[in-house]
Amino acid sequence: MAEHVQDSRTDAVDDPATADFPERAPGTRRWLFADQLGPHFLDDPHQPVLLVESRAVFRRRRFHRQKAHLVLSALRHRAAELGDQAVFLQTDTYAQALDQVEGPLSVCAPTTWGGRDFVLGRDDVQVLAARGFVTTQADFVRWAGGRSNGRRGRSLLMEDFYRDARRRHDVLMDGAEPVGGRWNLDADNREPPPADGRSPAPAPWIPVEDEIDEQVRADLDRWEADGDVSFVGDDGPRLFPVTRRETLHRLRDFLDHRLGVFGPHEDAMLAEEPWLAHSLLSAPMNLGLVDPLEVVHRAEAAYRAPGAGLPLNSVEGFVRQVMGWRDYVWHLYWFLGRDYRHGNALSAHQPVPDWLAELDTTDVDAACLSGVLTDLRRRGWVHHIPRLMVLGNYALQRGIDPLAMTDWFHRLFVDGYDWVMVPNVVGMSQHADGGVMATKPYASGGAYIDRMSDYCGGCRYDPKKRLGEDACPFTAGYWGFLDRVRPALAGNQRMARPLAGLDRLKGREEVVDQERRRGTDPF
């Protein structure tokens, strides 16, 4: 798990984010981190490999149990696939493993600052250009050149980046124009959930555990019993792929049975249908089990297949997630620099409350928050809207420290990595960067949750009420949030109307006082 290598500062290169790393290293043994497990991380299919399982990774942070299982299972499955082609070392630290390896060793640039610092600090490892993303770091730097107006990232719009990537890779294009005449069909993909409360798609394909999973579970049980490590969340059957074969099976299942209905309800939430029509490919892609460009090409091929009849809004929406947003977040992680994670433009300093840290819903009455946390505890995953508009919205309104929330999301989601969560949480979710990634905070009252989910119908709180015992904590919390962060947002034109509404709010002082007293207590 490259994101968990402890920081080890080095002067090996001036900027490990933009170093001119070579593309290949023939004749070397390739060290594969646990998020670099696909064949595209090798220069040829027969290249010798090093795989390292580090126990110290799991002592340093308290992960979701199913995330730990997924990573270890993926590593061990890859070792079993490679057989004698791989040296598989189970050690306490990465350094201990590297000291046992003889001969030239190479590694594709790790996905985090700490990981790159570590490998660049060793004379016995040749570092290559990063892989596993559609746009290379060199191409991103070229694209970004001249776009920044003095504040890194300010004018680096995701939509511009996405269009450039589609042109360069000729994805969903008719000559020089986008298929269908529009680049972005997001406006067609904002429908509320189906009125009958049922998923629009059949249930996803779920892998079957094997003897490797049994051994992983036994080892995790033993480590925990020994007091060596501890975990959060429920153990459970493995839900996500750990091999390329399983990943391609899930991709085919999605393209054949789920992609067609993915788009319209991709932002919807249903209490009893956590998967809806989502692809569930983020975890195996972030393990490096499949090249995202291959995923994009297969989706386009499915769309263009004679008689397929796949709606463009679903296909374009999926492509935008994979080669647009995912790549954009990865590149901003590096482009915005080491200190980006420490942004706190809204002066949020509350700690993560114990009940949230433990995923304990015992005293959580709000149906949306309780339901999402229960799903997270059971599976280590919820899709992007519960993350942003329930969990992120809660932390934003309650003023929880954004760096602490970044760590929380990182540890508790099976697809969570440092490069994933720093931009998504610090920038997108918590507006802690002051507007580099998003022009206004993603804060909302209960009305949004009511419109986009079925949670509110059976909840003890009323999304229309701001005051009283049955007032929705998200509705009241929205106005309390605006009151708290008003000085920081006073110059934001997109917040002028909400702030004016705050001035006209009937019972404003009572609402603010109510929310101040509530603090970060569970609703």
Is the pLDDT at 13 greater than 60? The verdict is no
Pair 54, 183 in one domain: no
| pLDDT class of 146 with cuts at 50, 70, 90 | low
| pLDDT class of 4 with cuts at 50, 70, 90 | very low
Mean pLDDT of 161-179: 97
Q: CATH no. for residue 34? A: 3.40.50.620
Q: Report the pLDDT value the prediction gives residue 515, as an integer from 0 to 100.
A: 87
Closest CA to 350 of 473, 502, 484: 484
Does residue 227 lie within any of the structural domains? no
Q: Report the pLDDT value the prediction gives residue 153, as an integer from 0 to 100.
A: 47
Q: Report the pLDDT value the prediction gives residue 10, as an integer from 0 to 100.
A: 37
Domains of the chain: total: 3
Does residue 234 lie within any of the structural domains? no
pLDDT digits (tens, 9 = 90+) for 30-46: 999 999 999 999 999 99
User: Could you give the 3-state DSSP secondary structure of residue 513?
Assistant: helix
Q: What is the distance of C-alpha 24 from the center of its chain?
A: 28
Q: How far apart are the first and last CA of the chain?
A: 35
| Two tokens, residue 341 | 């994670």
Does residue 213 lie within any of the structural domains? no
Pair 402, 504 in one domain: yes
Pair 323, 355 in one domain: no
pLDDT digits (tens, 9 = 90+) for 457-513: 989 999 999 999 999 999 999 999 999 999 999 999 999 999 999 999 888 899 888
| Two tokens, residue 486 | 């008003």
| Two tokens, residue 496 | 């002028």
Mean pLDDT of 239-268: 97
Supply the DSSP symbol for 492: -
Does residue 233 lie within any of the structural domains? no
Mean pLDDT of the chain: 93
Pair 157, 289 in one domain: yes
The amino acid that residue 267 corresponds to is D
Q: Report the pLDDT value the prediction gives residue 156, as an integer from 0 to 100.
A: 85
Is the pLDDT at 159 greater than 70? The verdict is yes
Pair 378, 503 in one domain: yes
Does residue 228 lie within any of the structural domains? no
Q: Report the pLDDT value the prediction gives residue 18, as an integer from 0 to 100.
A: 63
Q: Give the lowest-confidence range in 59-73, 105-119, 137-151, 375-389.
A: 137-151
Mean pLDDT of 170-179: 98
Mean pLDDT of 256-262: 97
Pair 101, 161 in one domain: no
Domain extent at residue 451: 341-518
Pair 299, 345 in one domain: no
Q: Specify whether the CB–CB gap between 439 and 389 falls below 8 A.
A: no
Is the pLDDT at 9 greater than 50? The verdict is no
Q: Give the lowest-confidence range in 18-22, 260-264, 494-498.
A: 18-22
Q: Report the pLDDT value the prediction gives residue 145, as an integer from 0 to 100.
A: 81
Q: CATH no. for residue 308? A: 1.25.40.80
Last residue of a domain, one of 274, 307, 335: 335
Is the pLDDT at 6 greater than 50? The verdict is no
Pair 76, 124 in one domain: yes
Pair 325, 395 in one domain: no
Pair 291, 428 in one domain: no
Q: Report the pLDDT value the prediction gives residue 26, as an integer from 0 to 100.
A: 87
Pair 52, 172 in one domain: no
Last residue of a domain, one of 302, 318, 335: 335
Is the pLDDT at 114 greater than 80? The verdict is yes
Mean pLDDT of 377-405: 98
Q: Report the pLDDT value the prediction gives residue 154, as an integer from 0 to 100.
A: 53
> Percent of the chain, pLDDT > 90?
88
pLDDT digits (tens, 9 = 90+) for 348-372: 999 999 999 999 999 999 999 999 9
Q: Which residue reads 């008003």 in tokens?
A: 486
Q: Are strands 177-178 and 173-174 parallel, antiparallel or unpaired?
A: antiparallel
Task: Report the C-alpha gap between 187 and 330 in whole angstroms.
Answer: 25
Q: CATH no. for residue 437? A: 1.10.579.10
Is the pLDDT at 52 greater than 60? The verdict is yes
> Percent of the chain, pLDDT > 70?
95
Q: Specify whether the CB–CB gap between 47 and 396 falls below 8 A.
A: no
CA 130 vs CA 25, 79, 98, 332, 468: distances in Å? 13, 21, 20, 14, 54
Does residue 212 lie within any of the structural domains? no
Q: Report the pLDDT value the prediction gives residue 16, as an integer from 0 to 100.
A: 74
Does residue 30 lie within any of the structural domains? yes
Does residue 346 lie within any of the structural domains? yes
Last residue of a domain, one of 128, 153, 176: 128
Which residues contact residue 184 at a Cβ distance below 8 angstroms, ignoring those fewer than 6 apart?
Answer: 159, 162, 316, 320
Q: Report the pLDDT value the prediction gives residue 8, as an integer from 0 to 100.
A: 33
Q: Which residue reads 């980046």 in tokens?
A: 161
Is the pLDDT at 7 greater than 60? The verdict is no
pLDDT digits (tens, 9 = 90+) for 216-236: 999 999 999 999 899 999 999
Q: Specify whether the CB–CB gap between 350 and 399 falls below 8 A.
A: yes
Report the DSSP beta bridge partners of residue 32: 51
At residue 439's C-alpha, the angle toward residues 150 and 420, to 5°, is 85
Is the pLDDT at 125 greater than 80? The verdict is yes
Is the pLDDT at 2 greater than 50? The verdict is no
Mean pLDDT of 206-214: 98
Mean pLDDT of 71-82: 98
Is the pLDDT at 87 greater than 60? The verdict is yes
Is the pLDDT at 149 greater than 50? The verdict is no
Task: Give the CA dihedral 184, 190, 196, 200, nearest 10 degrees.
Answer: 20
Pair 353, 310 in one domain: no
Is the pLDDT at 155 greater than 80? The verdict is no
